[in-house]
Amino acid sequence: MRSFATILTTAAITLGLAATGRAHDLRVLVARMMAAPGQDDTVYVSYGHALPVDQPIDADWLQDYHVKLPSGSFQTFVKEGTSLHSNVIHVEEEGLYQAVATQKPAVWTEVVDPKGVHTHVRAAKKSIKEGTAEHAMLIKKYAKALLISGPQTTSPPEPLGHELEIVPVEPSADWKAGHDLNFKVLYRGKPLPSADLVATYIGFKPDAAWCYATTGDTKGLAVVRPQQAGTWVLRVKTTRPAAKDRQEEYDEEVVTATLVLEVRP
């Protein structure tokens, strides 16, 4: 594991790149990450860089927005307007809830006008009629948060089957500050080797920075040792060249996934 000083340096670099890019992070957050049966809880979408709330997101940009209950059934959330899309969930069952938000895939193209001004347009590069299409990316985003009701779970969460996904190896009973937490990074259901994973907790300053960075091993396993109890946000990203039959539309495909979970003292 990297030293803490190295982690902070890496995180600062990551933040600098993100601030100049067009890709905002998609997170789904829960007001109470640990709720007692019978309580109401609030789920909402966090979009941007700062935590816990940065910018609202247009409902038309969201694809899936729901929660998977401990029983395996699903509750669909309401998406409306440009907002945080706050929904109240009545926590009845004990166990693990997985709240999910995904963004509709979209192509963003960097366009340079005759004066050399760079802008980013939500369109395929072949559809650009004015200016020069410099570079285009197909962006996909997946987000989930893990809510625990009742006693801490003794079995790790099951993958949801997202294209890119971070899955805890240990059950929630082991999510404790000062302990190594292991995560599987899955891409299309298979381990993603050498994945770069960053993490932070809500309350860390600056609130748009990451405080932890690590690289997974060849088997897709990444280790995070949170020193601070609280709500932690993890993110992983993978970039692939566009398929040959898509190269007129975009140059590369960028997929990101975030995971939010509660780390106990």
What is the per-residue pLDDT across 72-101, written as a single tens digit (0 to 9) for each?
A: 999 999 999 999 999 999 999 999 999 999
Strands (E), the chain: 25-30, 34-35, 40-48, 57-58, 62-68, 74-76, 82-83, 87-90, 95-112, 118-121, 132-149, 164-168, 181-187, 190-191, 196-201, 212-215, 221-224, 230-241, 252-263
Q: Is residue 183 part of a domain?
A: yes
**pLDDT, position 131:** 86
* In-domain check, residue 205: yes
Q: How confident is the model at residue 115 (pLDDT cuts 50, 70, 90)?
A: confident
The number of folded domains in the chain is: 1
How far apart (Å, rounded) are the C-alpha atoms in residues 138 and 48?
18
Q: Is residue 265 part of a domain?
A: no
Q: Looking at residues 207-214, what average pLDDT do you find?
A: 94
Pair 93, 67: CB distance under 8 Å: no
Residue 240 belongs to what domain range? 4-260
Q: Are strands 57-58 and 87-90 parallel, antiparallel or unpaired?
A: unpaired
pLDDT score of 172: 96
Please tell me the predicted confidence (pLDDT) of residue 63.
Answer: 97
pLDDT average, residue stretch 168-192: 97
Asked, for residue 80, whether it belongs to a domain, the answer is: yes
Asked if residue 36 has pLDDT above 70, the reply is: yes
Q: What is the pLDDT of residue 129?
A: 87
Average pLDDT over residues 160-181: 97
Q: Which amino acid is at 252?
A: E
- Poorest-pLDDT segment among 20-29, 50-59, 161-170, 238-247: 20-29
How much is the pLDDT for 97?
Answer: 97
Task: Work out the average pLDDT over 33-47.
Answer: 96
Q: Does 29 fall in a domain?
A: yes
Q: What is the mean pLDDT of residues 231-239?
A: 98
Residue 4 has pLDDT above 80, yes or no: no
User: How does pLDDT run across 60-69, given as a tens digit for each residue?
Assistant: 999 999 999 9
Residue 9: band (very low, low, confident or very high) from pLDDT cuts 50, 70, 90: very low
The dihedral of CA 240, 22, 183, 29: what is its sign?
A: negative
- For the stretch 117-134, pLDDT in tens is 998 989 998 998 888 889
What does the mean pLDDT of the chain come to? Answer: 91
